[in-house]
């Protein structure tokens, strides 16, 4: 059955196999340009399944979304401003702890997330045994195992993206506790932010955390709203 186009942001750490996943998904149906205002390369492509069209935007590879580099700003602004239907985070299964930091940051933004657990063969060769179902339950989002350089798991990722976009599979946001004192300040800021136009397009708690971190990009947006 045909439906609306699904927009996917493809995220991941450098060297996670994200480019291979992008190529597997889109094949030759991709084009390259630049993100507006910066020299960071922008790649987009399309794929389809069961009559559904999926537009895949390959975000710059980053370790975090703290907006300290042009790549981080581009990736984060796309997620915040364009509000893709789903973000697919390509995670290196052989380096799980480090890679999940980005996944947690994406989940804090309240965006539907699918984790593409790539390089499962390398994890197994290092005797890392990952219970994929248990990992999915623990973090509250769908996890799809794959070996991108053998094109294994690509169809399953597409199926999960469509299921999440259609609301058939839930991809929860995560709430991390920062301790009693910091939580008090977050609550105060949330109360102030909740009544501003900025909160209509962004999770107030996420904005509060970013303001406490001294995030310049979020600070500028908040000042613009206040002055407007």
Contact 58, 18 (CB under 8 A): yes
The pLDDT value recorded for residue 78 is: 93
pLDDT tens-digit profile of 16-59? Answer: 999 999 999 998 788 888 888 788 888 999 998 888 999 999 99
Domains of the chain: 6-165 (3.40.50.300), 180-227 (1.10.287.1770)
Are 37 and 85 contacting, i.e. CB atoms less than 8 angstroms apart? no
Q: Which comes out higher in pLDDT, residue 10 or 201?
A: 10
Under the banding of pLDDT at 50, 70 and 90, the label for residue 1 is: very low
What CA–CA distances, in Å, run from 45 to 30, 87, 114, 150? 4, 15, 18, 20
Tens-place pLDDT, residues 101-123 = 999 889 888 889 999 999 999 99
Q: Give the three-class secondary structure for 194.
A: coil
DSSP SS3 for 227: helix
pLDDT digits (tens, 9 = 90+) for 126-173: 988 999 999 999 888 999 999 999 999 999 999 999 999 999 998 766
The CA-atom distances, in angstroms, between 136 and each of 91, 142, 169 are 13, 5, 12
Contact 117, 39 (CB under 8 A): no
pTM: 0.89
């Amino acid at each position: 059955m045909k439906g609306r186009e699904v927009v996917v942001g493809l995220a991941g750490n450098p060297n996670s196999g994200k480019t291979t996943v992008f190529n597997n998904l889109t094949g030759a149906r991709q084009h390259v340009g630049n993100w507006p205002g910066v020299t960071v390369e922008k790649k987009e492509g399309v794929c389809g399944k069961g009559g559904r069209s999926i537009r895949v935007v390959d975000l710059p590879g980053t370790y975090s979304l703290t907006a300290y580099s042009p790549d981080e700003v581009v990736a984060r602004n796309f997620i915040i401003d364009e509000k893709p239907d789903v973000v697919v985070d390509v995670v290196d299964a052989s380096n799980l702890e480090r890679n999940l930091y980005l996944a947690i940051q994406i989940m804090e933004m309240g965006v539907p997330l699918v984790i593409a657990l790539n390089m499962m063969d390398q994890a197994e060769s290092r005797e890392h045994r990952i219970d994929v179902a248990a990992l999915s339950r623990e973090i509250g989002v769908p996890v799809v195992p794959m070996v991108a350089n053998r094109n294994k798991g690509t169809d399953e990722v597409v199926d999960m993206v469509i299921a999440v976009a259609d609301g058939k599979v839930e991809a929860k946001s995560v709430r991390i506790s920062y301790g009693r004192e910091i939580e008090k300040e977050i609550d105060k800021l949330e109360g102030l932010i909740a009544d501003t136009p900025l909160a209509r397009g962004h999770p107030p708690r996420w904005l509060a955390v970013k303001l406490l971190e001294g995030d310049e990009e979020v600070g500028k947006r908040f000042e613009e709203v206040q002055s407007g």
